Amino acid sequence: MKKVYFSLLGFIVLSITMATAQAAPQAKIIERGYYTFTENSERLTSPLSTSGYVTRGEAELVKDTQRIPLEIGRLFGFRFKIFGIDKNIKVIPLELVVVHPEMKKPDGTTSSGYRYNIRLKLNNGMVEDKVGYNINEDFEMVEGEWQFEFLFMNKTLLKQTFTTYLQEK
């Protein structure tokens, strides 16, 4: 009888492991670089971001690159796809962690990044979306490395790094 019990327990553990492996999402970056807004964009307040704002709107890729020349109005980031999730699951909870060169804000405080939780809607076990940063203020014109990282259940699902630099005049 013990042999059957251990075999059944092994089967249950194997089944749970296989179900967990199948449920773990996969992700890939489709494109990265700097973009231009193609239609009306809107700037909304967002206390979690470094500037205190987010800009939303449709954008198209200008240049596929990880080196971003700094200028006011520059939008940079990446488009990504998350897939391999059970088709019955409707949303995926993620944490976005952005680390950037230290910025000194007009109020005298400094920032070197931000993080917040998001829930992306899934369609047939996948989602395609974009994330980025729009430089709108002089204090955001800092050279250095930017890292965008999506965490799923406290593990890195997707990571993209950019380097910003000042252009010679």
- Determine, yes or no, domain membership for 6: no
Q: Which pLDDT band holds residue 23 (cuts at 50, 70, 90)?
A: low
Can you spell out the DSSP letters for the chain? -HHHHHHHHHHHHHHHHHHHHHHS-EEEEEEEEEEEE-S--EEEE-TTSSSSEEEES-EEEEEE-SEEE--TT-EEEEEEEEE---TT--EEEEEEEEEEEEEE-TTS-EEEEEEEEEEEEPBTTBEEEEEEEE--SGGG---EEEEEEEEETTEEEEEEEEEEEPPP-
10 found inside a domain: no
Specify the pLDDT at position 21: 43
CATH number reported for the structural domain that contains residue 91 in this entry: 2.60.40.2390
19 part of a folded domain: no
Counting the structural domains of the chain, the total is: 1
Whether the per-residue pLDDT at 4 is higher than 60: the answer is no
**Does 34 reside within a domain?**
yes
In a domain, 48, yes or no: yes
Domain membership of residue 132 (yes or no) is yes
The whole-number pLDDT of residue 7 equals 42
Q: Is residue 13 part of a domain?
A: no
The whole domain housing 34 covers 24-165
pLDDT digits over 76-115, tens only?
999 999 999 999 999 999 999 999 999 999 999 999 999 9
* Residue 52 placed within a domain: yes
Task: Give pTM, 2 decimals.
Answer: 0.80
**Higher per-residue confidence, 48 vs 77:** 77
